[in-house]
A and B are shown apart, each in its own frame.
Chain A
């Protein structure tokens, strides 16, 4: 691994892993505690429609992904908030339509489609320096928003009704949250690919949530775990010559299963009082 560091692409890959883990740890925590993993998966897959659009109209597919993921996030968020029943069905439908649109647009596009696979399965080893700057900017935006609206985000996540009664603009805060999910998804697309985004978004936060019972600590630990998983995954991928995105996911998945299995052992450390 040390000798691999002399390569620019390796340094960029490690840096991308760190930057993505920051967004992932913060936003993943909200995804896990709000139980909107399915919605986040929908946003990720619908983003593929934007990729296809970018290919077809010859503009940067990442831009298309941002537009599509933001639009689908707001749409799904609205459905999630306003429809009492069958919200998951509608989200599932939007998920599939977005994906299908992407595939059709790609079909209709003439000529060679470079990099198409990298959007689906990630290509952390091919992250250009310019993308690192975009990732850094997105991290800063996410951290700033979360810091500014921390108490509202916590209130809406914990008890929406109470938040509403306290005068918190619940809908606006919620839509801001799903928009941040959309931006995080686009960032992560580079690392693990759209298909596996939800896995990396949720696993570090989920493991972290098993270990700590405080939201800020949960975020910090999730970030550390994310860095650990991407770095370890990258190392395995490099030394065993395996697809990087999938390797990172498998490392995270293994850690998650391990944490689940050892949970009964950890539990007694926090005795339940009463009941």
Chain B
């Protein structure tokens, strides 16, 4: 990679410019602009159907935007994809699927080993290291279906890490774990954030706002200004009817009371 402006801090790792995307000519995302800098830890929240998954699919190259441009590490999505480690939602799993922790984590090396290539000893070393970093190496021979939600999430993170990514993309990482476990996973993510840029989407606003560096709201449009708090304004713009939507599962009083000015700068 040639990066002529290496001196400039922080380097932009993902850039989304004026992106419109959706299905069957019906845009779900409207004019999305987002700049992710190196070692950012961004949490995007939004209601279901607000386009969170669609945005992820665009970033992963699974959906081409109708308009606008996405660059990953200055390259097209397809070329930049190998910089991205993807952690999917852990909820949809066939518990009987015959696969062990080790083999799941090793899938992270798929991108490095093409068709007809075998995994190498180097791959094994990287996979072991990835599992160790999420404290799951001891359970390497455990079938994935026998793990708890939190453990499974750790394995998925290890799989993403085995790809040796610069950016980690997480889809609702706390969807199937209880609050205590999710706190420990957030700790893990903060630790990883020392060397990896993280972008996660979630509808779990309470936890997200206290663990990530910056937050944004996504509901067809993106409300993100690089601030560390959700402002009532952002929420009102994103959730057209804040109280009702927030009420599902999360009482609204948990939001930090802070002055709008601070976050607005």
Contact = CB atoms under 8 A, between A and B. Distances in A.
A259 interface: no
A203 B240 CA distance: 52
A165 B96 CA distance: 24
B148 A275 contact: yes
B22 interface: no
14 contacts: A149-B115, A154-B99, A158-B104, A161-B86, A164-B62, A165-B60, A165-B81, A167-B81, A168-B110, A212-B98, A214-B100, A215-B99, A271-B146, A275-B148
Given A209-B98, A214-B98, A274 B147 contact: yes
B151 A274 contact: yes
Given A159-B88, A274-B151, A214 B99 contact: yes
B119 A213 contact: no
A168 B109 CA distance: 11
Given A33-B97, A165-B62, A273-B146, A148 B107 contact: no
Given A149-B115, A213-B143, A273-B151, A155 B110 contact: yes
Interface of A: 29, 33, 35, 148-149, 151-152, 154-155, 157-159, 161-169, 209-210, 212-215, 217-218, 270-275
A272 B98 CA distance: 15
In terms of DSSP, what is the predominant structure of the interface of chain B? loop
Contacts of A270: 143, 146
B159 A213 contact: no
Contacts of B116: 148
B146 A218 contact: no
A163 B111 CA distance: 9
Contacts of A157: 97
A29 B99 CA distance: 12
Nearest to A208: B98
Contacts of A271: 146
Contact of B97 (A149, A158, A165, A275): A158
Given A149-B115, A167-B111, A162 B86 contact: yes
Contacts, number: 91
B99 A158 contact: yes
Interface of B: 60-62, 81-82, 84, 86, 88, 94, 96-100, 103-104, 107-108, 110-111, 113-116, 119, 142-143, 145-151, 159, 163
- The 4 A-B residue pairs with the shortest CB-CB distance in the complex, in nearest-first order: A274-B148, A213-B143, A166-B110, A166-B111
A137 B25 CA distance: 48
A81 to B, nearest CB: 13
Nearest to B116: A148
Contacts of A149: 115
Nearest to A169: B115
A163 B110 contact: yes
A166 B81 CA distance: 8
Contacts of A273: 142, 146-148, 151
Contacts of B113: 151
A168 B159 CA distance: 15
A275 to B, nearest CB: 5
Contacts of B143: 213-214, 270
Contacts of B111: 165-167
A54 B208 CA distance: 64
Contacts of B115: 149, 152, 169
A218 B143 CA distance: 13
Contacts of A161: 60, 62, 86, 88
B174 to A, nearest CB: 15
Given A167-B81, A213-B100, A215-B99, A162 B146 contact: no
Nearest to A274: B148
Contacts of A210: 96
A88 B99 CA distance: 27
Contacts of B119: 151
Given A273-B146, A275-B148, A215 B98 contact: yes
A165 B107 CA distance: 11
A185 B246 CA distance: 53
Given A155-B110, A157-B97, A167-B114, 11 more contacts: A29-B98, A148-B116, A151-B119, A165-B111, A166-B107, A167-B82, A168-B110, A213-B146, A273-B151, A274-B150, A275-B148
A67 to B, nearest CB: 27
Contacts of B99: 154, 158, 213-215
Chain A CB within 10 Å — which of B99, B111, B148 has the most?
B99
A218 B100 CA distance: 13
Nearest to A214: B98
A253 B81 CA distance: 47
Contacts of A154: 99, 103, 107
Nearest to A173: B115
Contacts of B159: 162
